[in-house]
Structure 1
Amino acid sequence: MPRPTGFAYDTTRDGTVHITHAGRPATTLRSARAARFLTEVTTDDPQLVMARWTGNYKRGNERTARDHPRNRR
């Protein structure tokens, strides 16, 4: 079964937002931070917003990591 790629988020009844990356938990947002995230994700590109909120945004080593022998498929 293929692994999901990119970011995804789920909201719960109490307003908590769970963000996942490639099917694995990345971060959890609660209360005011969750509300700000939900307003921002609806107005901008969702993948970029989730990358910013999880801290996985433009580290500069993406090309290096992709070319590493361990990450080649």
Structure 2
Amino acid sequence: MPRPHGFSFRQRADGTVVITHGAHTAAVLRGDRAQRFLAEAERGDAQLVMARWTGNYRRGNERTARTHARNRG
């Protein structure tokens, strides 16, 4: 699986964190969630952390896999 790329974030003066992917806003984090995100992004790979926090680590095949015969339970 390719590594995530194209994410960026900025922290506003009020503490809000805006995560963008390309030119699109992917997530807006406020309060405690914003502080937890910043701490995690500081410790790890920021691109991977942003992909996980925005939900973009999924590639869209989960719905198809769920209905596959071997996954019906």
Q: TM-score, normalised by structure 1?
A: 0.72
Greater RCO between the two (CA within 8 Å, min separation 6)? 2
Structure 1 equivalent of residue 52 of structure 2: 52
Greater Rg over alpha carbons, structure:
2
Question: What is the Cα-based RMSD across aligned positions, in Å?
Answer: 1.4
TM-score normalised over the length of structure 2: 0.72
Moved over 6 A (4+): none
Q: Deviations over 1:32-59 (max 9, x none)?
A: 0000000000000000000000000143
2 CA distance for matches of 1:25 and 1:50?
A: 12
Q: How many residues of Structure 1 are paired with residues of Structure 2 in the alignment?
A: 57
Give 5+ residue unaligned stretches, structure 2: 62-73
Amino acid at match of 2:50: M
